[in-house]
Amino acid sequence: MMPVYLIVGALTRDVTEDGFRYGGSVLYAGLTALALGYKLKVVTTCHPEEPLGRLFPGAEIYLQESPETTTFVNLETRSGRRQQILANARPLKVQGLPQEFLTADIVHLAPVADECPLEALGLFSGQFVGASIQGWLRTWDKKGLVRQKKVPPEVFSPLKALVLSQEDLGGDLDYASELARIVPLVVVTRDRHGAWLYHEGQRHHLPAPEVPVVDPCGAGDIFAAVFFSALFEGLDPLKAVALANCLAARSVTRKGLESIALPEEIRDCYQTIAQQG
């Protein structure tokens, strides 16, 4: 039987010049899990008319309906790019989920706008529980302008691994070290510079392959799904990061959901990691 990959988080609409496109960690990571051969289960919150069946082909979806779908827009300011939340879906209620969701082989908690309660961290009893924690590190003002916040590292103690970006840290590298004292495996993604892996008291730098960047959207979510699945399959953490770097790098050469890994890319990246010994 195929192992079950559960992804939890809000579907998003991301405003573009041409209208919007669908996104969110739940979508990019979920589709990556499907591409890797897992049976996918999705817990999400959004407007009930969103085309979830088309977006998540073959997945079992547990929808918590909301009057709105979480919607983001990126703004160019004098201090750089900022994110704004235009609409926010209702928070997820994780109590009362079906038992088969709670015991999925891989559980990936992936909030984007604090929609997943922190209590969920201790709720699941699958073989592997990991998280992309960016959504817990975001807060916003009345205009929806997003800024970073900190969460006490101790709340993440139920996790086997977590992923966040250098941007999520807001320049506070000490926070990553604090997280690494609580969670066995912590990864900080660094765009074209690869990633840092914090493991057993050490920080390892793993470079990313050099590729032409077309669209970086979703690369961190793809990285996380590959990393968690590789750990579940028994790969050494360093090799798991290298594999995730490989497939995330391939993803940025295409736009939007076209960035999801192709079968030949998955084979190539696995072969590359195997050849490294």
- 87 φ, ψ (degrees, to nearest 5): -150, 150
Is this structure's pTM higher than 0.85?
Answer: yes
**Separation of alpha carbons 41 and 29, rounded Å:** 12
Residue-wise DSSP of 86-123: EE-PPPP--TT--HHHHT-SEEEE--SSS-S-GGGGGT
Tokens of 115: 């929609």
Structural domain that includes position 172: 4-275
**Separation of alpha carbons 262 and 259, rounded Å:** 8
Each residue's pLDDT expressed in tens, for the chain with a length of 277 residues: 899 999 999 999 999 988 999 999 999 999 999 999 999 999 999 999 999 999 999 999 999 999 999 999 987 666 667 899 999 999 999 888 998 899 999 999 999 999 999 999 999 887 899 999 999 999 999 999 999 999 999 999 999 999 999 999 988 999 999 999 999 999 999 999 999 999 999 999 999 999 999 999 999 999 999 999 999 999 999 999 999 999 999 999 999 999 999 999 999 999 999 888 6
Q: What is the pLDDT of residue 44?
A: 98
- 241 φ, ψ (degrees, to nearest 5): -65, -40
Q: What is the pLDDT of residue 80?
A: 65
Task: Give the CATH number, domain containing residue 31.
Answer: 3.40.1190.20
Q: Output the CA torsion sign for 244, 168, 206, 233.
A: negative
Residue 74 CB neighbours (<10 A): 13
Total of domains in the chain: 1
Place of tokens 């990126």: 74
Tokens of 134: 């960016």
Which contacts of 252-255 are long-range, i.e. CB under 8 A and separated by 24 or more positions? Answer: 252/211, 252/213, 252/214, 252/215, 252/216, 252/219, 253/211, 253/212, 253/213, 253/214, 254/214, 254/215, 255/214, 255/215
Q: What is the pLDDT of residue 84?
A: 94
